[in-house]
Structure 1
Amino acid sequence: MARIAVITHEFDRFQSRRGLLWRRDSPYMLFDLLEELKRRGHSVQVLSGTSAKPAADIAVLHVDATVTSPDYVEYARAFRFCLNLGAADISKRRISGAVVGKDDGWKGQVIVKSSLNHRGTPEQQLNRRARRAGKAMPFPGVESFDQYQIHASLADVPAELFGREDLIVEKFIPEPEPDGFAARFWLFCGERERCTRHVSPQSLVKGDDTIRREAVPVPDELRALRRKLGFDYGKFDFVMHEGRAVLLDANKTPGRARNLSSFIAAGNANLADGFEGLIRQHA
């Protein structure tokens, strides 16, 4: 049985207590995966910050921020093996395959997004908690970008947005369907995975408005991109456009889809098998 360490940000809340029975809860998918691993006999320790002396067989770098600061990366290197050590930067400017520039020849619709994961909400939460603790904000200068903006063409995007490093402009390329639009979501841990195609009546496909879904294969070019980006565990959002996979978002700290809890829970054992495979591989 392995000793598993979860490295979180000093001001993150990986788990909490709730309800009359003070049950543990978490907004993260990893929490459920770890609960399954504990049922199998493994031990789990959540390490907040970088002060604890490394003492584990395997670690997970689970800092909920778009760019993991160097001090956390160096701390993670002290463990024998750490998942997602190579995935310290998941900014859309780095990972998106749909980014376009002001003078590109793209003629279709475009969408303006924050380059930060989840529109920078995790960074803002960490900043608020740091302020309440009387400490320096870990991500000063982060601005909110509350809503995606869809434009008919590149010419319709305000020129000043192209100069902002915190924003990106992407081709807007959801997969058209007779009853809506589709996007694909690939969850993985080690060699285990599940990949589904979700159809929604909305052009911005989210889990909570899915009207149907189906299992689909993972394109080989996406597997190659996962290796390049350094992901051992996480979630990729992508579409198929003109016969190729286009990665739109990569998340190293995916959340729990509560509205799809039974669907997600059914795959926890499979992902836990993948985690145990990594344990054996690096024993």
Structure 2
Amino acid sequence: MARIVVITHEYDELLKRRGMLRRWTSSYMLYDIVGELQRRKHEVVVARGLSSRPTGHAALLHVDATVTPDDYVDYGRSFPLCLNVAAADISKRKVSGAVLDANDGWNGPVIVKSNRNSAGDPERRMNRLARRAGQAEPFPEIPEIGEYRIYDTPGEIPDGVTADPNRSVERFVAEREPDGFALRFWVFCGEAERCTRYVSSHRLVKAARFIRKEAVPVPDELRQRRRQLGFDYGKFDFVVHEGKAILLDANKTPGRPQNLTNLLAEGSANLADGFEGMLLQHGL
């Protein structure tokens, strides 16, 4: 059995105590995968920060920040196998296939997003925890961007927004349905995966508010994009627009669905299979 180290930031909260009984739980999908790996007799150690730097057969870099600090990446590289060590930057401008190019002639609707994953909320949360501990903010100068905004044409974008490095201006490439809009979520760990298409009446599709869903195949161009971005574990959000798969968002610390016990049990077992497959590939 392998000794697996989960590398989190010093101010990450992989585990929290919640409810009247103060039981340990987590908002991350990894929580259930780790539980399954432990049931299979693997030893899992959480390295919170870089002070102790435990060793192991393999590691997973699970720092919930858009850009993983270099010292955490260097620690990950010290292991024979470290998942997501090559996926250190998941900013929208880097991963999205819909980023507006002034030379592409697009005159349709555009959407303005934060360039950071989850609008920079994880970094601001870690900054608050650092201040409470009397320490310097690990991610200073993280501005509040606010809600996504959709404009009918690029000409309606306010001055200065396109050049703002904290924002990502993208073509609004909707996957339209007669009764709404669709968005596809691809969750994977190694060779294990599931890909689901959600349809919603809202233009900004969320898995929590949908009309229907269905399992769909993963397009080859998304698999190629995953290899380019260096992802071993995570979640991709994408659409198929005019016959082309377009990646919109890539997350290396995906969240955990709440109140979906059966889905979590089935999904965590499958993704744990993928983790073990990578261990075998590396002779671990």
TM-score using structure 2 length:
0.96
Query: Who is 2:181 aligned against?
Result: 181
* Aligned mates of 2:88, 2:203 — CA distance in 1: 30
Query: Who is 1:69 aligned against?
Result: 69
Shift in Å, 1:80 = 1.7
Alignment of 1:124-203 (within 5 A): 124-203=124-203
8 Å CA contact 1:5, 1:59 repeated in 2: yes
* Aligned mates of 1:124, 1:62 — CA distance in 2: 17
* Aligned mates of 1:46, 1:26 — CA distance in 2: 13
* Aligned mates of 1:268, 1:9 — CA distance in 2: 23
* Aligned mates of 2:204, 2:264 — CA distance in 1: 21
Shift in Å, 1:104 = 4.2
* Aligned mates of 1:262, 1:218 — CA distance in 2: 23
Name whichever of 261-270 and 91-100 sits farther off.
261-270
1:203 aligned partner, one-letter code: R
Shift in Å, 1:243 = 1.1
1:146 aligned partner, one-letter code: G
Query: Who is 1:51 aligned against?
Result: 51
Gaps of 5+ in 2: none
Shift in Å, 1:53 = 3.2
Gaps of 5+ in 1: none
Secondary structure (helix, strand or coil) at the match of 1:196 reads strand
Shift in Å, 1:265 = 3.5
CA displacement 1:160-179 (0-9 Å, x = unmatched):
10110010111111211111
Secondary structure (helix, strand or coil) at the match of 1:155 reads helix
Aligned residues: 283
- The runs of at least 4 consecutive aligned structure 1 residues that moved more than 4 Å come to none
Secondary structure (helix, strand or coil) at the match of 2:208 reads helix
Query: Who is 2:118 aligned against?
Result: 118
Secondary structure (helix, strand or coil) at the match of 1:258 reads coil
8 Å CA contact 1:54, 1:79 repeated in 2: no
* Aligned mates of 1:78, 1:190 — CA distance in 2: 20
Query: Who is 1:280 aligned against?
Result: 280
Name whichever of 160-169 and 101-110 sits farther off.
101-110
* Aligned mates of 1:129, 1:57 — CA distance in 2: 31
TM-score using structure 1 length:
0.97
Identity of aligned residues (%): 59
1:235 aligned partner, one-letter code: K
Cα RMSD of the aligned pairs, angstroms, is 1.3
Change (3 A) 1:259 1:150: farther
Shift in Å, 1:102 = 4.6
Query: Who is 1:93 aligned against?
Result: 93
8 Å CA contact 1:101, 1:162 repeated in 2: no
Shift in Å, 1:242 = 1.5
Query: Who is 2:227 aligned against?
Result: 227
Query: Who is 1:241 aligned against?
Result: 241
1:212 aligned partner, one-letter code: R
Shift in Å, 1:107 = 1.7
8 Å CA contact 2:127, 2:137 repeated in 1: yes
Shift in Å, 1:20 = 4.7
8 Å CA contact 2:99, 2:168 repeated in 1: yes
* Aligned mates of 2:178, 2:142 — CA distance in 1: 39
Query: Who is 2:217 aligned against?
Result: 217
Secondary structure (helix, strand or coil) at the match of 1:209 reads coil
Secondary structure (helix, strand or coil) at the match of 1:88 reads coil
